[in-house]
C-alpha cells in the first residue's frame, strides 16, 4: 500500500493492497507526485506504472511503450553476440514493455520518467 503522512508522522491517507489488479501492488518501489497532485507508483513486481488522483483513486495503468533507442543499438553493436540472441527471441514485441521498473520521477513540464533495471533504460511519458 501507499501511505501519506504529515511531517510529524500522522497518517493522512493510505490506498492500495497486495495483488495485481488496478490499485493493487506487488513490490512498489517508487512514488512521485506531479504539480496537479496526481500520484505515480512504480509497481515493480507487476511490471507497470500506476497513476492515481490526489485521493488515491486509480486513474490509469501503463505497461511500457519503449523502443530500441540509438543508445540501445550502440550497446548491441558493441556486443555483437546480443544481436544473435535477439534473433532467436520468440516475441520481441514484449521488448517495449516494462521489465522491473524501479523508480519514477516527474518534472515541472509534466514528463514522467520511469527507470527500468531489467532493460537498462528510462521510458518517458508526457502528461496531457
Going residue by residue through the chain (128 aa), what tens digit of pLDDT does each one get?
999 999 999 999 999 999 999 999 999 999 999 999 999 999 999 999 999 999 999 999 999 988 778 888 898 899 988 888 877 766 667 788 999 999 999 999 999 999 999 888 899 999 88
Asked if 25 contacts 16 with a C-beta cutoff of 8 angstroms, the reply is yes
Q: Strands (DSSP E) along the chain, which ranges? A: 2-5, 11-15, 17-18, 24-25, 28-33, 39-43, 48-52, 58-62, 101-106, 111-116, 121-126
35 CB-near residues (< 8 Å, 6+ apart): 108, 110
Is 98 in a helix, a strand, or coil?
Answer: coil
Amino acid at each position: 500500500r501507499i501511505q501519506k503522512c504529515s511531517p510529524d508522522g500522522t497518517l493522512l491517507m493510505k490506498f492500495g493492497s497486495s495483488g495485481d489488479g488496478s490499485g493493487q501492488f506487488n513490490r512498489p518501489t517508487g512514488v512521485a507526485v506531479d504539480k496537479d497532485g496526481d500520484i505515480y507508483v512504480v509497481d515493480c513486481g507487476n511490471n507497470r506504472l500506476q497513476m492515481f488522483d490526489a485521493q488515491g483513486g486509480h486513474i490509469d495503468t501503463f505497461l511500457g511503450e519503449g523502443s530500441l533507442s540509438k543508445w540501445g543499438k550502440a550497446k548491441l553493436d558493441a556486443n555483437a553476440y546480443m544481436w544473435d540472441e535477439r534473433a532467436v527471441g520468440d516475441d520481441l514485441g514484449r521488448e517495449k514493455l516494462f521489465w522491473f521498473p524501479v523508480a519514477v520521477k516527474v518534472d515541472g513540464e509534466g514528463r514522467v520518467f520511469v527507470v527500468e533495471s531489467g532493460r537498462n533504460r528510462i521510458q518517458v511519458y508526457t502528461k496531457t
